[in-house]
A = this chain, B = another copy of it.
Amino acid sequence: MNNYAHRVLERLRQKYPSEEEYLQSVQTWLEMIDPALDDPRYEKLDLLTRMVEPERMVTFLVPWVDDQGNAHTNHGYRVQFNSAIGPYKGGLRFHPSVNASVVKFLGFEQTYKNALTGLPIGGASGGADFDPRGRSDREIMRFCQSFMNALYRYIGADTDIPAGDIGVGAKEIGYLYGQYKRLLGKAESSALTGKGLTYGGSKVRLEAAGSGTVYFLDRMVGSQGDTLEGKTIAVSGFGNMSWGVCRKAAQLGAKVVTLSGPDGYVYDPEGITGQEKLDYLLEMRDSGKDKVSAYARRFGVEFFPGKKP
């Protein structure tokens, strides 16, 4: 690895010895761009530090009270990673695994994902180590309101536009946006994405991630002089994204034959295609049971138990 890159990485390792996810993703990235790092001006401008460390990170306590009247205190985060080309933008994750390392890793990757769209959008990430599983709607609402009481002054249309991520779906975005709207006294719908259609959300948002993935694949295959027509595709996972991939792949003439979940994977040799199977995917996801074996039972295909890698 280039000397300057090496020094930047070593400094990170000393500064954040326990942030594995973050350090790993920075190292991979530095190795990837190594061929392009010869220019001595990069070090003169200390460009790499500004590309691998967040411009700003805010951490805050999120106190809330459960339905039994016990107070809890979670940790909230917002990493505003890089705004060089546009406002910060990235998801909010509510999951017990969320910590500084995870949100920095997510914000780092988001920065370059967003830049690749060609749009002037910067990168960010955030969330809390709150676990919404097993919590009542009222508990989730109170948590979201308390989280937004702290977050609201750091976000906004030109500043930082959060979206959902694991544990933050349409319901949570609704609670978050509702509190944001109440505190500011304005319906600044461009301050959060993932809102419901009825109050300012975007159409085809559900389809977007899967379609984009298949379009990208189509261009890659196309660059080799080939097409997706007639291809067979293996998909891991079975959420919104997988649903969108199955749907768009079918439209372009390809066939998805696998799905996976925490309980194992299924193999459907006839392809996960047709309205009935696609609708069932959304149904499985909404059931909250998080088991892909249901698909095997429903459509009589083989299920292979085992941990999702």
Contact = CB atoms under 8 A, between A and B. Distances in A.
Contact of A54 (B44, B61, B70, B87): B61
Contacts of A75: 15, 53
30 contacts: A17-B18, A46-B63, A49-B61, A50-B61, A50-B73, A53-B73, A54-B59, A55-B60, A55-B61, A56-B58, A56-B185, A69-B136, A84-B199, A85-B198, A86-B189, A86-B199, A87-B186, A87-B187, A88-B187, A120-B198, A149-B182, A149-B183, A150-B182, A153-B185, A156-B186, A158-B186, A158-B188, A158-B189, A159-B186, A159-B187
Interface string A39-53: 000001110011001
Kindly state the interface size class of chain A when it binds its partner.
35 or more
Contacts of A46: 63, 70-73
A217 interface: no
A69 B122 CA distance: 27
Contact of A61 (B53, B67, B179): B53
Query: Oligomeric state, in number of copies?
Result: 6
Interface of A: 15-18, 44-46, 49-50, 53-61, 63, 65, 67, 69-73, 75, 83-88, 99, 120, 122, 136, 138, 149-150, 153, 156, 158-159, 179, 181-183, 185-189, 198-200
